[in-house]
Amino acid sequence: MASEALPLSWRRIPERYCLIGNSCENCKTNFFPTRKICPNCRRRGKLADKTYSGKGKVYSYSLVNVVPQGFELDAPYVLAIIELEEGPRVTAQIVDCGEKDVKIGSLVKMVFRKIKEDGDEGVIHYGFKFGLVK
């Protein structure tokens, strides 16, 4: 099975575990994942880390039946674009639900799950997914 490069996965731990993105203190735009430079303010921009609340709503979604390698046990699953309450949109799985349970606009919150395992003996990659708020 294709495994994710360790340093890459490790660098993304703050983003994947705690939803840490950044925000431009100049134009107040929020980014997720982090940006190296603010596209609005360019050199005048001042980026600072921002931890997102993990609350949001479903912007759009799809049921994935034919899944990529490493996601076979989760199939079929709902993959959604989530609009965080602070603005940015993220793509993530919605857990513990079927296609019928999800609507555009459904309220969701971040949950911590296994994303993928590098086979039986490799590293386990953890991170955010989303769960429906009842």
Partner 1 sequence: MVGIIGYGAYIPKYRIKMEEIAAVWGEEAQRIKKGLGIEEKAVPGTDEDSATMAVEAGRIALARAEIDSKKIGACYVGSESHPYAVKPTATIVAEALACGNDTMSADFEFACKAGTSAMQCCMGLVKSNMIKYALAIGSDTAQGRPGDALEYSAAAGAGAYIIGNEKGEILAEIEETVSFSSDTPDFWRRQHAEFPQHGGRFTGLPAYFKHVMGAAQALFEKTGTFARDYDYFVFHQPNGKFPREVAKMLGIEEKKLSPGLVCSRIGNTYSGASLIGLARVLDDAKPGEKIFVASFGSGAGSDAFSINVTDNIVERRKEGMTVEEFIAEKEYLTYGQYVKHRRKLKSL
User: Which of 9, 29 has the CB closer to partner 1?
Assistant: 9
Instruction: Give the amino acid at 44.
Output: R
**Footprint of partner 1 on residues 55-74 (CB under 8 A)?**
73-74
Alpha-carbon gap, residue 48 to 41, rounded angstroms: 14
Alpha-carbon gap, residue 88 to 50, rounded angstroms: 12
**Footprint of partner 1 on residues 11-40 (CB under 8 A)?**
13, 17-18
Whole-number minimum distance, CB 41 to partner 1, in Å?
28
Q: Which stretch binds partner 1 (CB under 8 A): 30-38, 41-49, 56-64, 91-99?
A: 91-99
- 111 counts as binding partner 1 under rule CB under 8 A: yes
Among 59, 64, 83, 126, binds partner 1 (CB under 8 A): 126
User: Which of 54, 88 has the CB closer to partner 1?
Assistant: 54
User: Which of 39, 119 has the CB closer to partner 1?
Assistant: 119
Alpha-carbon gap, residue 17 to 36, rounded angstroms: 20
Q: Which residues would be at the binding site for partner 1 (CB under 8 A)? A: 13, 17-18, 51, 73-74, 93, 95-96, 111-115, 124, 126, 129, 134
